[in-house]
Amino acid sequence: MRLVTFIASLIVALFAAACDQRPAEKPLQYSSAPVGNHAPLYRLVPHPSYNPRRLAETFQPLIDHLNRLLPQARFELESSRDYQAFEQKFRAREGEILMPNPWQTIEAMKVGYHVIAMWGDAEDFRGIFIVRKDGGIKTPDDLRGKVVSYPSPTALAAAIMPQYFLHTKGIDVNQDIQNIYVGSQESSIMHVFLGESAAGATWPPPWRMFQETHPAEAAQLKVAWETPPLLNNSVMVRDDVPQAIEQGIRQALLDLPTTAAGRKILAGLETARFHDADDANYDMVRKYVTRFEKEVRPVEPQ
């Protein structure tokens, strides 16, 4: 009888303990996508023309537009702290959609990305040299012995093309000037304003944005010289992106100028339009880079 009573008491105690036990607490998760949205995610990774905050402000309207037009997919923006971080990402195939410069475009082809559009007019892709109005720099020869700033050694319009321009003017860019690579287009310009470089290389869209966001500083600067144009940045997709998604992205980009909302997105990107393009369009970039490396320096420091 005592045994039966003990067993009954044990069962009651175990049942009570089970009732008091609370389920393990789950961490809260936050997402901009609706709950239950299991559409595949595609990350759009632009090359770092601007700092991460400015990049988000510039590209998020485009991301929102793609999410509205293509509900069968989800799109997110991913920024990179500098050119080298961006290049490491695409070489590891970490982003599904890239917006690289033309040199990065031919590099990304090597790891399975292909071009679906060109980002902006080719005429807008040229290097420009920013100098202080009171800096006394009038000709390329005036840069001898002085500092020139650039975003990155792999920035095509803002380093490679300006250095080739100086090379054609008789400047040995490896000996006659001091080259510094400062991480972003805005930083290259600000180095000139602060007197830390005699000239800063950039290209038209960041210079236009700098004039809008820093009018007092920009008023003390000017464009000294510009290079001939080449070919503008590309839009690329990884080889495992479904064709229907690829075609949807391409069409969405090409159609931006046809609506007021699309034109507003383009204005924020400092871009007139996107053009249809493919890998073959960038063959001229490969030839240009080959000539630059033969005559000036390796694109990527050894």
Pairing state of beta strands 233-238 and 97-99? antiparallel
pTM surpassing 0.85? no
Higher-pLDDT residue of 21, 114: 114
Q: Which of 119, 178, 106 is nearest to 143 (CA)?
A: 178
CATH at 182: 3.40.190.10
Looking at 226, 247, 282, the residue that finishes a domain is 226
Question: What count of Cα atoms within 13 Å lies in the side-chain half-sphere of residue 1?
Answer: 0
Helix residue spans in the chain (DSSP H): 2-20, 52-69, 83-91, 102-108, 161-168, 185-193, 204-213, 215-218, 243-254, 260-268, 283-295
What proportion of the chain, given as a percentage, has pLDDT over 70? 87
Same domain, 148 and 212: yes
Residue 243, in any domain of the structure = yes
Task: Give yes or no for residue 293 having a pLDDT over 70.
Answer: yes
Are both 140 and 175 inside the same structural domain?
yes
Measure the CA–CA gap between 191 and 197, rounded to whole angstroms.
6
Separation CA 208–CA 124 (nearest Å): 11
Whether residues 272 and 149 fall in one domain? no
Is pLDDT above 80 for 22? no
Question: Is there a single domain that holds both residue 106 and residue 246?
Answer: yes
Report which of residues 144 and 270 the model is more confident about.
Answer: 144
Segment 35-90, tens digit of pLDDT: 455 799 999 999 887 777 888 888 999 999 999 999 999 999 999 888 899 999 99
pLDDT at 297 over 80: yes
Distances in Å between the Cα of 288 and the Cα atoms of 154, 230, 294 are 13, 9, 10
Domain boundary among 211, 226, 241: 226
For residue 12, being part of any structural domain is answered with no
pLDDT (mean) for 276-302: 95
Q: In DSSP terms, which residues pair with 233 in a beta bridge?
A: 119
Phi and psi angles of residue 276, each rounded to the nearest 5 degrees, phi first: -65, 135
Domain boundary among 210, 226, 242: 226
pLDDT for residue 36? 52
Q: Is 195 helix (H, G, I), strand (E, B) or coil?
A: coil
Q: Please give the average per-residue pLDDT across 142-164, as a whole number.
A: 97
Cβ-proximal residues to 255 (8 Å cutoff; 6+ apart), any chain:
262
In whole angstroms, how far apart are CA 133 and each of 12, 66, 144? 89, 42, 18
Task: Examine residue 52 and state whether it is found in any structural domain, yes or no.
Answer: yes
As a whole number of angstroms, the distance between CA 172 and CA 196 comes to 21
- Are residues 211 and 190 part of one domain? yes
Rounded to the nearest integer, the mean pLDDT of the chain is 89
> Based on the domain organization, do 117 and 236 belong to the same domain?
yes
Checking if the pLDDT of 19 tops 50, the result is no
Same domain, 241 and 287: yes
Predicted confidence at residue 7, as pLDDT, reads 43
State mean pLDDT over 9-38. Answer: 43
Give the integer Cα–Cα distance in Å for 230 and 75: 30
Same domain (yes/no): 116, 166:
no
Regarding whether 267 and 290 lie in a shared domain, the answer is: yes
More confident residue, 138 or 21: 138
How many folded domains does the chain comprise? 2
What integer pLDDT is reported at residue 29 of this predicted model? Answer: 29
56 assigned to some structural domain: yes
Secondary structure class of 217 (helix, strand, coil): helix
Question: Residue 268: which domain range?
Answer: 41-121+232-295
Distances (CA, A) of 298 to 108, 151, 163, 164, 189: 18, 16, 12, 12, 24
pLDDT bucket at 24, cuts 50 / 70 / 90: very low
